[in-house]
Chains A and B, each alone.
Chain A
Amino acid sequence: AQKVTQAQTEISVVEKEDVTLDCVYETRDTTYYLFWYKQPPSGELVFLIRRNSFDEQNEISGRYSWNFQKSTSSFNFTITASQVVDSAVYFCALRIGMGSGAGSYQLTFGKGTKLSVIP
């Protein structure tokens, strides 16, 4: 069975501080995808990034960066120079298998980390 753990339930930072959200996953499958989603107060889940199990190259996109380490089964997400608009619940998710017809299409989500950015 798959499992995603987001140990941080709530985080508060002052605007312009950097913040890292942790995600640890468990799976016996060797091929899988990892995702981060953002859920603002409006409720809609917004896709941020996906990574497959063969691609450990870390990525920076604007103020966002991701650190994927298979050795520790972690897929952490960092926001640099946080802004009030970053306030939301952030979810890490796992899908086993890759591509069409492989594995399961269901996403396994963590419980989320609520980020509050204080002006």
Chain B
Amino acid sequence: DTGVSQNPRHKITKRGQNVTFRCDPISEHNRLYWYRQTLGQGPEFLTYFQNEAQLEKSRLLSDRFSAERPKGSFSTLEIQRTEQGDSAMYLCASSPPGQGASVNTQYFGPGTRLTVL
């Protein structure tokens, strides 16, 4: 299966600790997205990469959050000094290059569920 993969699937941490999540997009997808989903809500956009360039950032991405995609393949999302309000599902998605309708469709991974105690 060559879908989007995310690791770890679950993370429990104590308040104030740093955490890092990894996302591997679908092979040859050059666009990668991070979203956050809290209980009972729809996903909320965090940031978007095209290749290694971070082109969009949401105001939700506070200075405790940083995302990277150094080689234009996998991406990491780091949260520093975690707070209880950071508890959520963190979703990664990717979409293919080129023109046409398929460019606009984002394919999601299974997510990383973060619990901050």
Contact = CB atoms under 8 A, between A and B. Distances in A.
Contact of B101 (A47, A52, A110, A112): A52
Interface in B31-47: 31, 33, 35, 40-45
A85 to B, nearest CB: 18
Contacts of B100: 99
Residue among A33, A43, A93, A110 with most chain B CB within 10 A: A43
Contact of B58 (A45, A52, A95, A106): A106
Contacts of A95: 104
A16 B93 CA distance: 33
Contact of A42 (B95, B97, B110): B110
Interface residues of B, number: 32
A33 B101 CA distance: 9
B114 interface: no
A109 B108 contact: no
A50 B110 contact: no
B29 to A, nearest CB: 12
A98 interface: yes
B104 A99 contact: yes
Contacts of B67: none
Interface residues of A, number: 27
Contacts of B113: 43
A108 interface: yes
Given A106-B45, A107-B45, A111-B40, A45 B33 contact: no
Contacts of A104: 56
B89 interface: yes
A111 B104 CA distance: 21
A33 B104 contact: yes
15 contacts: A33-B104, A44-B108, A44-B110, A46-B108, A47-B105, A47-B106, A91-B43, A105-B33, A106-B33, A106-B45, A106-B56, A107-B33, A109-B43, A112-B40, A112-B42
4 nearest A-B pairs in the assembled complex, by CB-CB distance: A109-B42, A106-B45, A45-B108, A44-B110
Interface of B: 31, 33, 35, 40-45, 48, 55-56, 58, 89, 91, 93, 95, 97-101, 103-111, 113
